[in-house]
A and B are shown apart, each in its own frame.
Chain A
Amino acid sequence: SAVISQKPSRDICQRGTSLTIQCQVDSQVTMMFWYRQQPGQSLTLIATANQGSEATYESGFVIDKFPISRPNLTFSTLTVSNMSPEDSSIYLCSVEFPGIYYEQYFGPGTRLTVT
């Protein structure tokens, strides 16, 4: 089975700064997604990271706040920009593998605390 890793696993950041989270998969995937999960809550989809083109953002999320890159079929980054305490959350990437539709496999997550 594929290995999905995220870096950093956790970070504490000051308000007004930005943090870039990396998601790496050890095999090629078709789809990559970024989610946010508050403690004890469900997952909220931020955006779909499209390889070679701009990400597709869900309602309530914008590119200026959450720029996303996906330079190839195994790697994506999510940046949380100009952070405020409200951005404190767990950020998760997930992937879909070729030929396996709608089944998502998640990275271990990045726990972000903004002070």
Chain B
Amino acid sequence: GQQVMQIPQYQHVQEGEDFTTYCNSSTTLSNIQWYKQRPGGHPVFLIQLVKSGEVKKQKRLTFQFGEAKKNSSLHITATQTTDVGTYFCAGTNTGNQFYFGTGTSLTVIP
């Protein structure tokens, strides 16, 4: 069945280091979204990508959608303690089914 896996599951970084989470789908996605969930909070929408090879930036965050539309990445430059949380990708496949990824939990050590 459809799976959207993220790696790594957990990541600890020193403040100021970069961080990347990777999202991989077993099937082609028509779009992908990224969400951030702070500890004890609810998921917050960050961005949506729809085009093959698309790259979008939000300040220190860079989002990329793979050429085959089966994978995506989120890269954070120079992490800050405010970046702490779990980052989820989520996507819709060509059958219009929607799946959340498994998530990557980021801890930033001051």
Contacts and interface: CB of A to CB of B under 8 A. Distances in A.
A106 B42 CA distance: 7
Interface residues of B, number: 19
Interface stretch (A12-20, A61-69, A72-80, A97-105): A97-105
Contact of B33 (A40, A45, A102, A108): A102
The A interface is mostly helix, strand or loop, or mixed, namely loop
A108 B48 contact: no
The B interface is mostly helix, strand or loop, or mixed, namely strand
A102 B92 contact: yes
Contacts of A103: 33, 45, 48
Contacts of B85: none
Interface residues of A, number: 16
27 contacts: A40-B105, A41-B103, A42-B101, A42-B103, A43-B88, A43-B100, A44-B100, A45-B98, A45-B99, A45-B100, A92-B42, A102-B31, A102-B48, A103-B33, A103-B45, A103-B48, A104-B35, A104-B43, A104-B45, A104-B90, A105-B45, A106-B42, A106-B43, A106-B44, A107-B42, A108-B41, A109-B42
Interface of A: 40-45, 92, 94, 102-109
